[in-house]
Amino acid sequence: MVEKQLINSVKVLIKDFINKCYSEELFTHLENAFDILSFSSRRRWTKIMLQPVATREIVLKSSKKLRIIGGGILAGWMWKGKFIPSPHLYNFIYDNYQKIGCAVSSKPQGVRAFLYGNDLLLVSLEKVLPPIEKGKYIAVIDSEDFKAIGIGMMLYSEDEIAELIKRGQMLTAIVKNVFDLGIHVRDEMFFI
């Protein structure tokens, strides 16, 4: 029962995220093609996976005999009641539907810095890919290949960014690094 309630609350949060950043039609398509599964970890956060519906029976049958720790597309994580989208979800949607939203693209020097765990500075901002909101999770996109390299929290609104530019405050951090793909190199224990 608790697991069912968790999945329902996660589904609502994912639906809100997809509807806001992309479209209701995209969420409907994903809902029809994928099951939403949750997997707890030792770190007090829960992985949220999109498992293709076509594999539903195999997963259910296997889960009776094996401890499944994940499978499908990593959609994101639940942390303190909030859904944090993953770079994998952004890349999956971009690769399959050519849509992007709730993101910023970064110049190459910002990509390198972000992948080393640093925040994204205004000087490295290439473009805002709306909608974005201060205090919300967004993807940081590599402007050269348009792939999501990580997830950050937006520290300023678009209007506040324009004001920072006018004042010449280009070394201001505008996106706080929450997760980046460089973690695979820096901390191999992260995913265990």
pLDDT single digits (tens) 88-98:
999 999 999 99
Range among 41-50, 66-75, 111-120 rated most confident: 111-120
For the whole model, what pTM was predicted? Answer: 0.86
Q: Are 154 and 125 contacting, i.e. CB atoms less than 8 angstroms apart?
A: no
Is the per-residue pLDDT at 104 higher than 50? Answer: yes
pLDDT reported for residue 2: 38
Distance of CA 93 to the CA centre of its chain: 11
Is the per-residue pLDDT at 1 higher than 60? Answer: no
Average pLDDT, the chain: 88
In the sheet with 148-154, reading across from the earlier edge strand, the strands are: 120-121, 173-180, 148-154, 137-142, 103-106, 125-129
The confidence band for 64, taking pLDDT boundaries of 50, 70 and 90, is low
In angstroms, the CA 114 to CA 63 distance is 37
Q: Which residues are registered as beta bridge partners of 73? A: 50
pLDDT reported for residue 133: 95
Rounded to 5 degrees, what angle do the CA atoms 36, 62, 7 make? 20
The confidence band for 63, taking pLDDT boundaries of 50, 70 and 90, is low
Q: Are 111 and 147 contacting, i.e. CB atoms less than 8 angstroms apart?
A: no
Share of the chain above pLDDT 70, in %: 85
